[in-house]
């Protein structure tokens, strides 16, 4: 391919920027996996719901998605908490396949409620900075993506502080390591599970607000992101937070480059193939411990 190097450089940089937000989506997934040891198939649908919430905030109330990010995070923390506490927790009965099925059921419900309410048309918002670019040497970087990258790093840092220096964070890590032991020293495991799920969902809400200026919303948009997020989580190692961020960056670049070389419609194939390959060859991922 005779593509000039600056185009490739630009694709790599933009891939890194988008990849950071993918990483944020994956962060929620991996956190829930690391603590609850469940794969949340409703993750994509919850992201869709968050994107519609951000869309509504802009379309109905005129609130900029970047301003809406924090209130949405709080709202979705609550939603996530309740979903785990009232639906997933009671239905799981300690069986893996039950969780698989319940989260699948949740994703079907959320996705199709969105379809019923908003119909299948794609929507986008029209913020004045959507097309702004920043010059970085020879490359032009999209402004919303730069913001997304920065915000993801801030959220990741905040999560790190929360997990290591707050009592709740310590309780979460204790439950992740040794559930029975944590319960014995008086930690309310069901509550911690729900808090973790809530944090995971809150990450999604922030990611949704960051994605909205540059992506369309449709009832099935979450599916595309969730497969990417699964790939990242599998690549980075289930339960690994660093893995999710690094995996996100890698996948962002892969997507951007395969889009450049293979075209839009086949571009996704690169991601799926990595996904399948990693699952088959090294299901614990690059950063995951051996199960």
Partner 1 sequence: MRAILAFAAVVAVVPLLVSSNVALNFLVFTMIIALAAQGWNLLGGYGGQYSFGHAAFFGTGAYLTAILQVRFGLNSYPAFAAGIALAALVGLAIGSLAFRSGLKGSYFALVTLAFAEVFRVLANAAQVTGGAAGILIRLQQDPANFQFAERGTFLWVAGTMVTLALMATLALERSRLGAQLVAVRENEAAAQALGVDVLAVKLRTITLSAAMTGAAGGLYAQYFLYLDANIAYGTWISVEALLAPIVGGAGTVFGPVLGAVLLHAIAEATRMIAGRIPGIDLVAFGIVLILVVRFPPRDIPGLLRRWRR
With binding defined as CB under 8 A, does residue 257 bind partner 1?
no
CB of 99 to partner 1, least distance (A): 8
Sign, CA torsion 168/171/175/181 = negative
For partner 1, what does the binding mask look like between residues 150 and 179, x meaning CB under 8 A?
------------------------------
286 binds partner 1 (CB under 8 A): no
Contact stretch for partner 1 (CB under 8 A) within 96-104, 138-146, 176-184, 245-253: 96-104
Give the whole-angstrom CA distance, residue 84 versus residue 90: 8
Distance separating alpha carbons of residues 254 and 88, to the nearest angstrom:
34
Q: Which of 2, 60, 61, 97 binds partner 1 (CB under 8 A)?
A: 97
Least distance from partner 1 to the Cβ atom of residue 288, Å: 12
Q: Is there binding between residue 14 and partner 1 (CB under 8 A)?
A: no
**Which residues contact residue 284 at a Cβ distance below 8 angstroms, ignoring those fewer than 6 apart?**
237, 238, 290, 291
Q: Does 116 bind partner 1 (CB under 8 A)?
A: yes
The answer to whether the beta carbons of residues 247 and 232 sit under 8 Å apart is yes
Q: How far is the CB of 105 from partner 1 (least distance, A)?
A: 4
Nearest residue to 122 via CA among 52, 226, 216: 216
| 100 interacts with partner 1 by CB under 8 A | yes
E strand map for 47-143 = 133-136, 139-142
Q: How far apart are CA 222 and CA 92, in angstroms?
A: 24
The two three-digit tokens of residue 269, written as one number: 């194939």
Secondary structure of residue 186 in the 3-state scheme: coil
Q: Going residue by residue from 217 to 246, which x/- string records binding to partner 1, judged by CB under 8 A?
A: --x---x---x--x---x------------
Question: ∠69-72-77 over CA atoms, to 5°?
Answer: 125
Among 3, 6, 78, 112, binds partner 1 (CB under 8 A): 112
| Residues at the site binding partner 1, with contacts judged by CB under 8 A | 38-39, 41, 87, 90-91, 93, 96-98, 100-102, 104-109, 111-116, 119-120, 219, 223, 227, 230, 234, 265-266, 268-269, 272-273, 275-276, 279-281, 283
């Amino acid at each position: 391919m005779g593509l000039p190097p600056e185009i490739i450089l630009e694709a790599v940089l933009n891939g890194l920027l988008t990849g950071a937000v993918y990483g944020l989506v994956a962060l929620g997934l991996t956190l829930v996996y690391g603590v609850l040891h469940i794969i949340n198939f409703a993750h994509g649908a919850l992201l869709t719901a968050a994107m519609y919430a951000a869309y509504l905030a802009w379309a109905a109330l005129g609130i900029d998605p970047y301003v809406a990010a924090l209130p949405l995070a709080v709202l979705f923390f609550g939603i996530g908490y309740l979903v785990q506490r009232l639906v997933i927790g009671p239905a799981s009965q300690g069986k893996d396949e039950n969780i698989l099925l319940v989260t699948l059921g949740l994703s079907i419900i959320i996705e199709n409620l969105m379809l019923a309410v908003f119909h299948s048309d794609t929507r986008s918002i029209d913020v004045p900075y959507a097309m702004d670019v920043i010059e970085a040497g020879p490359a032009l970087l999209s402004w919303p993506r730069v913001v997304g990258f920065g915000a993801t790093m801030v959220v990741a840092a905040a999560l790190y502080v929360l997990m290591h220096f707050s009592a709740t964070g310590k309780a979460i890590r204790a439950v992740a390591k040794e559930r029975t032991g944590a319960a014995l020293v008086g930690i309310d495991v069901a509550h911690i599970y729900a808090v973790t799920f809530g944090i995971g969902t809150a990450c999604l809400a922030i990611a949704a607000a960051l994605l909205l200026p540059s992506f369309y919303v449709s009832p099935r948009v979450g599916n595309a992101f969730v497969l990417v997020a699964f790939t990242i989580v599998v690549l980075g190692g289930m339960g690994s937070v660093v893995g999710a961020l690094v995996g996100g960056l890698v996948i962002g670049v892969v997507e951007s480059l395969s889009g450049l070389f293979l075209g839009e419609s086949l571009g996704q194939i690169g991601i799926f193939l990595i996904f399948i390959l990693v699952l088959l060859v090294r299901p614990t991922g690059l950063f995951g411990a051996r199960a």
